Structure 1
Amino acid sequence: MGIQQALQNVLTNPTYLAVWAVVVALSLGVLVWDLRTNNAELKSLMKFVWGFTVLYSGPLGLLGYWYSGRTQIDHDSLWRKGFRSVSHCYSGCGTGEVLGVSIAVGLFAFKTTGVVVLTFALAYFFGYLMTVGPLLQEGVGLREALWDAFYSETASITVMEIVAISTDVWLAGEAGLGDVLFWTSLVFSLTLGLLAAYPVNLLLIRYGVKGGDDEPRGDGNRDGGVTTPTSRETSEPSLRVSHRA
C-alpha cells in the first residue's frame, strides 16, 4: 500500500474522523474559554485569527496559540513572532482555499488546472486582504498598504498554497463535495501548508521583510500596530520592513 492510499484510508476512517471532530471541538472550547477568561484584551482580529487556526488545525493551532498568542507568555522571540505571523496569514488563506475548492468543484465542476488556479487566487486574495485591512485601519495610505502587503506576504502565501493545494489535489483526486475525502483532504492539506509556511515567516522576520505581529502582552496597553519600524524609520535603508505581520 502506498502513502497516498494509506492517507486516504485514514482520512475516510469513521473512527479517526469521530476522534478528530471531538479533539477539534475540545480545542475550540479551550480557546474560547481562555480568550474570554484570561485574554479578553487581545485585539479582535487576533481572536479571529486564532479561532480559524484552531478550527483548521485543531490541537496544533491551540498549541501555537498557547505558545505565542497569549498575554501570559513570559517573553517574546523570533519563534513566537513567526507563529503569530503565519497564523495571521493562515486564517485568511485557509478561508480562501476552502471557498476556492468548493466553488471550483461544486459550482463550476472545474478540472485540476481550474481548481488550482481559482483556489490559489481566492487564497491569495483573502490572505492579502487580512494584511491590507488592518494597515488601512492603522492609517496607512491605500497605495502603501497594497505594496506592503504584496511585499511582505507573497512569499509566505505562495509557499503555503503550493503545499496545501498540491496535497489536496493529490489526495482528493476526483472526490466531489458529497465525498468525505473531499473535506478531510482539504483540512489535512491546510495544516501541511501552515507547517511549510512557518519557516518562511521566520526568515522574512529575521531579515526584516516582515515586522512580526505585536507581542500579545502589550495588547492591553496599546491601540494596535507593530513594534518594528517602517522602512522610513529603520537605520537599515536597504531593508523594507512591512507594517504588518
Structure 2
Amino acid sequence: MKVIAAVDIMGGSVVRLVKGDPANKVVYSSDPVDTSKKWEAAGADMLHIVDLDAALSNGNNTELVVKITAAAKIPVQVAGGIRTPEKAEEMLSRASRVVIGTMAYSDPEAVRKLVKKSPGRIVISIDQVDGKVMVKGWKESTGMKVADAISQFASMGVEEFLLTSIERDGTLQGPDLRNLAEAAKSARITASGGIASLEDIVKVRSAGCSSVILGKAMYDGKVSIERVKALA
C-alpha cells in the first residue's frame, strides 16, 4: 500500500483543518517546500499537495505548489481548486497527477477528455458525508452517491479515486471503513480522513485500499511514515 504525505497550504503556510473548516485550523509550518522535503526524506511514496485557498476560492498558492513539484524527487499529486481543463493541464505539466473534484461533477466531459489525453494521471476526488458527494471546498452537496460517482468516472477510464470522509477529516476519530471497503470493491481507492494510528492503517489496507494519505496523525507524531512502511 502506498503511503502519501499530505501538505495542505493556506496563506502560504502548512496547515491542517478539522472537517475542512478554515476557522478550525492548526498551522504546522511557514515553509511548505521544506515540509515537503521532510516527508520525502522520511520515505513517503508520493506527496499530496493541496491548495486550500484555491479550493475555497480565496486566492491561490500556485507559486509554492510549483516550487514543491520542481524540488520533489518523488511523484507529486496536486489538488485544490482545479476547476478548469486549462488549470488541470497546467498542473499536469508539473506534477505526476492531478486530483479533480468540483469540475468532475459540473463538467464530466472535461474529465473524459483529460483522461484520454493523460491516462493514469487523473484522480477523481470523492469527498463524502453520509455516502453523498460534496463539492466546492466541501460546502455543496451533489446529491450523488459514492458508488454512482465511481461507476460514472470508471466508465471514462479513471483509474484512481481519492475517498475522503469529511466528517472524520482532521479529527483522528478513525477511518470510515464501511464506505472505504465498499468503494474498494470496484476501484483503486486512496483513503483519507480520520486516520489516527498504525492500527487504523492496517484496517484501511484490509479494507482493500491501495493507498493512504497521512495528514494530522503524521503531523502530530501519532504515526510515522517509517513505521507505516515497515508494515508492508
Tell me the TM-score normalized by structure 2: 0.27
Structure 1 or 2: more strand by fraction = 2
Where relative contact order (Cα < 8 A, 6+ residues apart) is larger, the structure is 1
Structure 1 or 2: more helix by fraction = 1
